[in-house]
Amino acid sequence: MLCVSPDAIPHLCTVYRPLRFVLGLIARLPWWALYVLSDLLFFFIYHVVWYRRQLVWRNISTAFPEKSAEEVNDISIAFYKNLCDQIVETIKLLHATPEEISARFGADTAVYDRLHAEGRHVLQATAHQFNWEWGNWILNRHTRFTVRIIYMMVGSRTMARIISELRLKHGSVLIPANDLNALLQTSENPSISVFLADQNPSDRRRAQWETFLGREAPFHRGLEILARRKGHAVIFDEMVKVRRGHYRSISHLAFEDGSTTAEGEITSAYVRFLEASIRRQPENWLWTHNRWKHKRNRA
Protein backbone atom coordinates (compact mmCIF):
# COMPACT_ATOMS: atom_id res chain seq x y z
CA MET A 1 0.00 0.00 0.00
CA LEU A 2 1.60 3.27 -1.14
CA CYS A 3 0.74 6.87 -0.52
CA VAL A 4 0.94 10.50 -1.48
CA SER A 5 2.14 13.33 0.69
CA PRO A 6 -0.61 14.82 2.88
CA ASP A 7 0.42 18.30 1.68
CA ALA A 8 -0.74 17.36 -1.80
CA ILE A 9 -4.21 16.34 -0.62
CA PRO A 10 -7.05 18.80 0.04
CA HIS A 11 -7.82 19.07 3.73
CA LEU A 12 -11.54 19.45 3.18
CA CYS A 13 -12.37 15.96 1.99
CA THR A 14 -15.94 14.76 2.37
CA VAL A 15 -14.84 11.11 2.51
CA TYR A 16 -11.76 11.45 4.68
CA ARG A 17 -13.32 12.63 7.94
CA PRO A 18 -16.05 9.98 8.31
CA LEU A 19 -13.72 7.21 7.15
CA ARG A 20 -10.99 8.38 9.50
CA PHE A 21 -13.53 8.38 12.36
CA VAL A 22 -14.66 4.81 11.63
CA LEU A 23 -11.10 3.54 11.28
CA GLY A 24 -10.22 5.26 14.55
CA LEU A 25 -12.97 3.30 16.31
CA ILE A 26 -11.73 0.03 14.81
CA ALA A 27 -8.18 0.87 15.91
CA ARG A 28 -9.36 1.01 19.53
CA LEU A 29 -10.65 -2.57 19.46
CA PRO A 30 -8.75 -5.08 21.62
CA TRP A 31 -6.51 -7.42 19.67
CA TRP A 32 -8.84 -10.43 19.94
CA ALA A 33 -11.76 -8.41 18.54
CA LEU A 34 -9.55 -7.10 15.76
CA TYR A 35 -8.89 -10.64 14.55
CA VAL A 36 -12.57 -11.54 14.75
CA LEU A 37 -13.10 -8.62 12.39
CA SER A 38 -10.32 -9.97 10.15
CA ASP A 39 -12.05 -13.37 9.98
CA LEU A 40 -15.31 -11.70 8.96
CA LEU A 41 -13.48 -9.66 6.34
CA PHE A 42 -11.87 -12.83 4.96
CA PHE A 43 -15.26 -14.50 4.59
CA PHE A 44 -16.59 -11.46 2.75
CA ILE A 45 -13.77 -10.85 0.29
CA TYR A 46 -12.98 -14.53 -0.36
CA HIS A 47 -16.37 -16.24 -0.32
CA VAL A 48 -18.76 -13.40 -1.19
CA VAL A 49 -17.08 -10.94 -3.57
CA TRP A 50 -14.30 -13.29 -4.77
CA TYR A 51 -11.82 -10.42 -4.69
CA ARG A 52 -9.21 -11.10 -7.42
CA ARG A 53 -9.37 -14.84 -6.78
CA GLN A 54 -8.70 -15.77 -10.41
CA LEU A 55 -5.67 -13.46 -10.54
CA VAL A 56 -4.28 -14.86 -7.29
CA TRP A 57 -4.79 -18.46 -8.45
CA ARG A 58 -3.08 -17.73 -11.76
CA ASN A 59 -0.16 -15.96 -10.11
CA ILE A 60 0.48 -18.71 -7.57
CA SER A 61 0.02 -21.64 -9.95
CA THR A 62 2.35 -20.01 -12.51
CA ALA A 63 4.99 -19.20 -9.89
CA PHE A 64 4.85 -22.76 -8.51
CA PRO A 65 4.09 -25.09 -11.44
CA GLU A 66 5.29 -28.06 -9.38
CA LYS A 67 2.48 -27.62 -6.85
CA SER A 68 -0.83 -29.45 -7.06
CA ALA A 69 -4.17 -27.67 -7.31
CA GLU A 70 -4.81 -28.49 -3.66
CA GLU A 71 -1.49 -26.93 -2.61
CA VAL A 72 -2.18 -23.80 -4.69
CA ASN A 73 -5.61 -23.53 -3.08
CA ASP A 74 -4.11 -23.85 0.42
CA ILE A 75 -1.59 -21.09 -0.32
CA SER A 76 -4.35 -18.91 -1.76
CA ILE A 77 -6.57 -19.25 1.31
CA ALA A 78 -3.67 -18.63 3.69
CA PHE A 79 -2.71 -15.56 1.67
CA TYR A 80 -6.20 -14.04 1.88
CA LYS A 81 -6.27 -14.60 5.63
CA ASN A 82 -2.90 -12.87 5.94
CA LEU A 83 -4.11 -10.03 3.72
CA CYS A 84 -7.10 -9.43 5.99
CA ASP A 85 -4.84 -9.50 9.04
CA GLN A 86 -2.60 -6.92 7.34
CA ILE A 87 -5.60 -4.63 6.75
CA VAL A 88 -6.80 -4.63 10.36
CA GLU A 89 -3.26 -4.52 11.74
CA THR A 90 -2.52 -1.45 9.65
CA ILE A 91 -5.68 0.22 10.96
CA LYS A 92 -4.54 -0.65 14.49
CA LEU A 93 -1.53 1.64 13.98
CA LEU A 94 -3.88 4.61 14.32
CA HIS A 95 -4.16 3.84 18.04
CA ALA A 96 -1.41 1.34 18.91
CA THR A 97 1.63 2.38 20.87
CA PRO A 98 5.17 1.68 19.66
CA GLU A 99 5.57 -0.64 22.64
CA GLU A 100 2.62 -2.77 21.50
CA ILE A 101 4.01 -3.14 18.00
CA SER A 102 7.55 -3.79 19.26
CA ALA A 103 6.22 -6.68 21.35
CA ARG A 104 4.77 -8.24 18.20
CA PHE A 105 7.52 -7.50 15.68
CA GLY A 106 11.03 -8.78 16.26
CA ALA A 107 14.07 -7.35 14.50
CA ASP A 108 17.82 -7.80 14.78
CA THR A 109 19.24 -4.31 14.37
CA ALA A 110 22.94 -5.19 14.79
CA VAL A 111 23.84 -4.37 11.18
CA TYR A 112 21.97 -1.05 11.41
CA ASP A 113 23.70 -0.16 14.68
CA ARG A 114 27.12 -0.79 13.13
CA LEU A 115 26.40 1.21 9.97
CA HIS A 116 24.98 4.11 11.97
CA ALA A 117 28.03 4.18 14.24
CA GLU A 118 30.16 4.46 11.09
CA GLY A 119 28.06 7.38 9.85
CA ARG A 120 26.86 5.43 6.81
CA HIS A 121 23.69 5.97 4.81
CA VAL A 122 21.63 2.87 4.05
CA LEU A 123 19.28 1.86 1.25
CA GLN A 124 16.81 -0.85 2.25
CA ALA A 125 15.04 -2.98 -0.36
CA THR A 126 11.91 -4.49 1.10
CA ALA A 127 8.73 -5.95 -0.40
CA HIS A 128 5.00 -6.28 0.05
CA GLN A 129 5.44 -8.98 2.65
CA PHE A 130 3.23 -8.88 5.72
CA ASN A 131 3.46 -6.72 7.75
CA TRP A 132 5.42 -4.07 5.90
CA GLU A 133 3.73 -1.11 7.61
CA TRP A 134 4.74 -2.41 11.03
CA GLY A 135 8.25 -2.82 9.67
CA ASN A 136 8.43 0.91 8.93
CA TRP A 137 7.49 1.68 12.52
CA ILE A 138 10.13 -0.69 13.85
CA LEU A 139 12.89 1.09 11.93
CA ASN A 140 11.91 4.39 13.55
CA ARG A 141 11.60 2.84 16.98
CA HIS A 142 14.67 0.61 17.10
CA THR A 143 17.30 2.36 14.99
CA ARG A 144 18.85 5.81 15.26
CA PHE A 145 18.55 6.53 11.56
CA THR A 146 16.33 9.08 9.89
CA VAL A 147 13.87 6.88 8.00
CA ARG A 148 12.93 7.98 4.49
CA ILE A 149 10.00 6.15 2.86
CA ILE A 150 10.16 6.19 -0.95
CA TYR A 151 6.58 6.09 -2.22
CA MET A 152 4.63 6.01 -5.46
CA MET A 153 1.29 7.66 -6.22
CA VAL A 154 -1.98 5.75 -5.79
CA GLY A 155 -5.52 6.45 -6.95
CA SER A 156 -7.34 6.85 -3.63
CA ARG A 157 -6.41 10.19 -2.08
CA THR A 158 -8.39 9.43 1.06
CA MET A 159 -6.58 6.18 1.85
CA ALA A 160 -3.29 7.72 0.75
CA ARG A 161 -3.73 10.48 3.30
CA ILE A 162 -4.49 8.02 6.09
CA ILE A 163 -1.49 5.82 5.26
CA SER A 164 0.68 8.92 5.09
CA GLU A 165 -0.43 9.86 8.60
CA LEU A 166 0.66 6.46 9.88
CA ARG A 167 4.07 6.75 8.27
CA LEU A 168 4.64 10.29 9.48
CA LYS A 169 3.40 9.58 13.00
CA HIS A 170 6.76 8.38 14.28
CA GLY A 171 9.10 10.50 12.24
CA SER A 172 9.40 8.97 8.78
CA VAL A 173 10.13 11.32 5.89
CA LEU A 174 8.09 10.72 2.71
CA ILE A 175 9.85 11.13 -0.64
CA PRO A 176 8.16 10.66 -4.04
CA ALA A 177 9.86 7.95 -6.10
CA ASN A 178 9.95 10.25 -9.13
CA ASP A 179 11.65 13.13 -7.27
CA LEU A 180 15.25 12.43 -8.29
CA ASN A 181 16.62 15.58 -6.63
CA ALA A 182 15.10 14.64 -3.27
CA LEU A 183 16.38 11.08 -3.61
CA LEU A 184 19.92 12.26 -4.29
CA GLN A 185 20.02 14.68 -1.38
CA THR A 186 22.08 13.34 1.52
CA SER A 187 21.20 14.52 5.01
CA GLU A 188 23.82 15.27 7.64
CA ASN A 189 22.46 12.55 9.90
CA PRO A 190 22.69 8.94 8.65
CA SER A 191 19.47 7.87 6.96
CA ILE A 192 17.70 4.72 5.81
CA SER A 193 15.85 5.07 2.51
CA VAL A 194 13.20 2.34 2.30
CA PHE A 195 12.17 1.13 -1.15
CA LEU A 196 9.25 -1.24 -1.72
CA ALA A 197 11.36 -2.77 -4.44
CA ASP A 198 8.85 -5.33 -5.74
CA GLN A 199 6.39 -2.79 -7.16
CA ASN A 200 5.82 -2.02 -10.83
CA PRO A 201 7.92 0.97 -11.96
CA SER A 202 6.06 3.97 -13.33
CA ASP A 203 8.47 4.32 -16.27
CA ARG A 204 8.98 0.87 -17.80
CA ARG A 205 11.30 2.28 -20.48
CA ARG A 206 13.95 2.77 -17.80
CA ALA A 207 13.15 -0.41 -15.91
CA GLN A 208 15.37 -3.43 -15.52
CA TRP A 209 13.63 -6.58 -16.73
CA GLU A 210 14.21 -9.77 -14.78
CA THR A 211 12.74 -13.26 -14.76
CA PHE A 212 10.74 -13.26 -11.56
CA LEU A 213 8.92 -16.41 -10.40
CA GLY A 214 8.89 -17.82 -13.90
CA ARG A 215 7.83 -14.70 -15.82
CA GLU A 216 9.55 -11.57 -17.01
CA ALA A 217 8.78 -8.44 -14.99
CA PRO A 218 10.11 -4.85 -14.85
CA PHE A 219 11.89 -3.57 -11.73
CA HIS A 220 12.52 0.01 -10.64
CA ARG A 221 16.21 0.96 -10.81
CA GLY A 222 16.08 3.91 -8.40
CA LEU A 223 17.68 2.12 -5.45
CA GLU A 224 20.50 0.79 -7.60
CA ILE A 225 21.19 4.14 -9.26
CA LEU A 226 21.35 5.84 -5.87
CA ALA A 227 23.58 3.13 -4.39
CA ARG A 228 26.07 3.25 -7.25
CA ARG A 229 26.24 7.05 -7.34
CA LYS A 230 26.50 7.59 -3.59
CA GLY A 231 28.27 4.45 -2.42
CA HIS A 232 25.59 3.72 0.18
CA ALA A 233 25.24 0.36 1.91
CA VAL A 234 22.40 -1.83 0.61
CA ILE A 235 20.29 -4.04 2.86
CA PHE A 236 17.77 -6.60 1.65
CA ASP A 237 14.96 -7.08 4.17
CA GLU A 238 12.74 -10.13 4.57
CA MET A 239 9.58 -10.12 6.69
CA VAL A 240 8.41 -13.40 8.15
CA LYS A 241 5.06 -14.13 9.74
CA VAL A 242 5.85 -16.09 12.91
CA ARG A 243 2.25 -16.63 13.92
CA ARG A 244 -0.92 -14.60 13.82
CA GLY A 245 -0.20 -11.04 14.86
CA HIS A 246 3.54 -11.68 15.26
CA TYR A 247 6.30 -11.01 12.74
CA ARG A 248 10.04 -10.71 12.52
CA SER A 249 12.34 -8.91 10.14
CA ILE A 250 15.56 -10.46 8.81
CA SER A 251 17.97 -7.89 7.39
CA HIS A 252 20.79 -8.99 5.07
CA LEU A 253 23.69 -6.67 4.27
CA ALA A 254 23.81 -7.30 0.54
CA PHE A 255 26.41 -4.69 -0.47
CA GLU A 256 28.72 -2.76 1.82
CA ASP A 257 29.37 -0.12 -0.85
CA GLY A 258 27.01 0.21 -3.81
CA SER A 259 29.57 2.13 -5.85
CA THR A 260 31.66 -1.04 -6.27
CA THR A 261 28.89 -2.93 -8.08
CA ALA A 262 28.34 -3.47 -11.78
CA GLU A 263 25.31 -2.07 -13.58
CA GLY A 264 22.28 -4.24 -12.89
CA GLU A 265 24.02 -6.26 -10.17
CA ILE A 266 22.05 -4.92 -7.20
CA THR A 267 18.65 -5.25 -8.87
CA SER A 268 19.34 -8.79 -10.07
CA ALA A 269 20.59 -9.81 -6.63
CA TYR A 270 17.45 -8.42 -5.00
CA VAL A 271 15.12 -10.27 -7.39
CA ARG A 272 16.86 -13.56 -6.55
CA PHE A 273 16.67 -12.72 -2.83
CA LEU A 274 12.96 -11.92 -3.06
CA GLU A 275 12.20 -15.09 -5.01
CA ALA A 276 13.89 -17.24 -2.37
CA SER A 277 12.00 -15.43 0.38
CA ILE A 278 8.64 -15.89 -1.33
CA ARG A 279 9.32 -19.59 -1.88
CA ARG A 280 9.98 -20.02 1.83
CA GLN A 281 6.66 -18.44 2.82
CA PRO A 282 4.51 -17.92 -0.30
CA GLU A 283 1.36 -17.03 1.62
CA ASN A 284 3.09 -13.95 3.04
CA TRP A 285 3.46 -12.00 -0.23
CA LEU A 286 0.90 -9.75 -1.98
CA TRP A 287 -0.43 -11.99 -4.77
CA THR A 288 -3.34 -9.65 -5.58
CA HIS A 289 -0.82 -7.26 -7.14
CA ASN A 290 -0.81 -7.89 -10.91
CA ARG A 291 2.98 -7.85 -11.02
CA TRP A 292 3.23 -9.36 -14.51
CA LYS A 293 0.71 -7.23 -16.38
CA HIS A 294 3.36 -5.44 -18.46
CA LYS A 295 5.27 -6.91 -21.38
CA ARG A 296 8.65 -5.75 -22.59
CA ASN A 297 8.69 -3.85 -25.88
CA ARG A 298 11.57 -5.48 -27.74
CA ALA A 299 11.21 -3.32 -30.84
Which of 199, 187, 31 is closest to 104 using CA atoms?
31
In contact, 65 and 58? CB cutoff 8 Å: no
The alpha carbons of the chain give a radius of gyration, in whole angstroms, of 19
d(CA 136, CA 220): 20
In contact, 253 and 233? CB cutoff 8 Å: yes
- 194 phi, psi to nearest 5 deg: -100, 120
Which of 16, 41, 289, 24 is closest to 159 using CA atoms?
16
- 122 phi, psi to nearest 5 deg: -125, 140
d(CA 9, CA 39): 33
* pLDDT over threshold 50, residue 122: yes
Tens-digit pLDDT profile for residues 28-78: 999 999 999 999 999 999 999 999 999 999 999 999 999 999 999 999 999
In contact, 160 and 4? CB cutoff 8 Å: yes
d(CA 267, CA 188): 27
Most confident range (mean pLDDT) of 5-19, 109-123, 126-140 is 109-123
Angle at 288 between CA 283 and CA 294, to 5 degrees: 125
* pLDDT over threshold 60, residue 12: no
The residues facing 147 across adjacent strands are 192
Spell out the domain ranges in the chain. Answer: 6-284
d(CA 278, CA 254): 18
Tens-digit pLDDT profile for residues 240-282: 999 999 999 999 999 999 999 999 999 999 999 999 999 999 9
Which of 170, 192, 148 is closest to 94 using CA atoms?
170
In terms of pTM, does the model score above 0.85?
A: yes
What's the pLDDT score for residue 179? 74
Tens-digit pLDDT profile for residues 188-231: 789 999 999 998 888 888 899 999 999 999 999 999 999 999 99
